[in-house]
Amino acid sequence: MVQWYGKTLEVWVEAGLERNETLLNLAEDFFDALMVVHEANNDGRYQVTESFLHPVGLLAADSRVQIMIQKEAIRKLNLILDKIPPELKKQRKILLSAEVSVVMNKLASRILEGGDYDLQIGLMEALCRMTKRGQRQEFADRWFTMEFVSSTFCRIQDSEFETDCRKFLNLVNGMQGDGRRVYSYPCLEVFLGKHELLIPMDEKLEDFWIDFNLGSQSISFYFSLSKEDTQEGQWDTICIPENEVHSYTVEGKHTFFSCTIDHRM
């Protein structure tokens, strides 16, 4: 599988940043096969973690490949990190290696320039999984040059991960001004057809946010379907890529606007 990965990486890099469904399907097939090995038994989990944690982490932060492939990589990286074999976790050698230190530096850099909110969330999840809470200030000072950015990162609580990440990412995206790659706006209400989508049920989340992602050319938001059917902390997400938008209209004045999207099915 290592050889397979090396060949597919060459193809992904050569193809560049344009969306290519064939290559995205190739990425999904590769990672599905990898996770079959990972989930088969302890030996498979050990081998996948030891052989692929580093290359998959680098792929998730590789700006040369299409962003949907990066997102697929970061999802699988977090699955690998979630189930590090006990013997590797006990020794922590897998997370203390020079190779993994390079991966973490690249993941952190990609947060600032990735251009997709969902990708940014995945990158932050990986960094939090790869570091103990007591280590994060030391690492954050290396990753982020501005002290208030690193301190905000270190205030992220595992129990309030999504909400704290929203505060952090709104900060780092917003401070880039017109050069930002993700534009986030608070919404008063959102409808999918005739169905109203609700703000995720989290008492610390003050606004219902929608993200315009320049890197992935998509619109995304996290939501709950109904108060009756949703438990606190359970979030769903919708992502609308550019190629699925038939038409759109924007109406309004001052600071309030209404955006209607005709979704191509």
> In this predicted model, which residue has the larger pLDDT, 177 or 94?
177
Lowest-confidence region among 122-136, 164-178, 207-221, 233-247: 233-247
Residue 237 is given by DSSP the state E
Residues 33 and 50: their CA atoms lie apart, in Å, by 16
Average the pLDDT over 73-80 and give the result.
Answer: 96
Confidence of residue 225 (pLDDT cuts 50, 70, 90): low
Confidence of residue 265 (pLDDT cuts 50, 70, 90): low
What's the confidence (pLDDT) of residue 31? 96
3-state DSSP helix/strand/coil % of the chain, to nearest 5: 55, 20, 25
Residues 115 and 118: their CA atoms lie apart, in Å, by 9
> In this predicted model, which residue has the larger pLDDT, 208 or 124?
124
CB contact at 8 A, 262 and 246: yes
What's the confidence (pLDDT) of residue 200? 80
What's the confidence (pLDDT) of residue 259? 85
Non-local CB neighbours of 213 within 8 Å, separated by 6+ positions: 115, 116, 117, 118, 181, 182, 219, 220
- 89-to-14, 42, 123, 225 alpha-carbon distances in Å: 36, 13, 20, 37
Percentage of the chain with pLDDT > 70? Answer: 93
> In this predicted model, which residue has the larger pLDDT, 71 or 242?
71
- Which DSSP string corresponds to 123-169? HHHHHHHHS-GGGHHHHHHHH-SSHHHHHHHHT--GGGHHHHHHHHH
Non-local CB neighbours of 104 within 8 Å, separated by 6+ positions: 57, 127, 130, 131, 139, 143
What's the confidence (pLDDT) of residue 100? 86
Confidence of residue 196 (pLDDT cuts 50, 70, 90): confident
- 227-to-11, 159, 250 alpha-carbon distances in Å: 45, 21, 29
What's the confidence (pLDDT) of residue 164? 92
Residues 69 and 49: their CA atoms lie apart, in Å, by 19
For the chain, the structural domain boundaries read: 1-180, 182-265
What's the confidence (pLDDT) of residue 153? 94
Instruction: Check whether 251 has a pLDDT greater than 90.
Output: no
> Over the chain, what is the mean pLDDT?
88
User: What separation, in Å, do the N-terminal and C-terminal C-alpha atoms of the chain show?
Assistant: 36
Q: Catalogue the E-assigned strands of 200-255.
A: 208-213, 218-223, 236-241, 245-253
What's the confidence (pLDDT) of residue 257? 84
Amino acid at the residue 180: R
What's the confidence (pLDDT) of residue 94? 67
CB contact at 8 A, 190 and 197: yes
Token code pair at residue 250: 């924007």
Confidence of residue 229 (pLDDT cuts 50, 70, 90): low
Instruction: Check whether 232 has a pLDDT greater than 70.
Output: no
CB contact at 8 A, 218 and 242: yes
Token code pair at residue 183: 């534009």
- Quick: pLDDT tens for 133-185: 888 999 999 999 899 999 999 999 988 898 899 999 999 999 999 899 999 99
Identify the top-confidence range among 64-73, 80-89, 152-161: 64-73
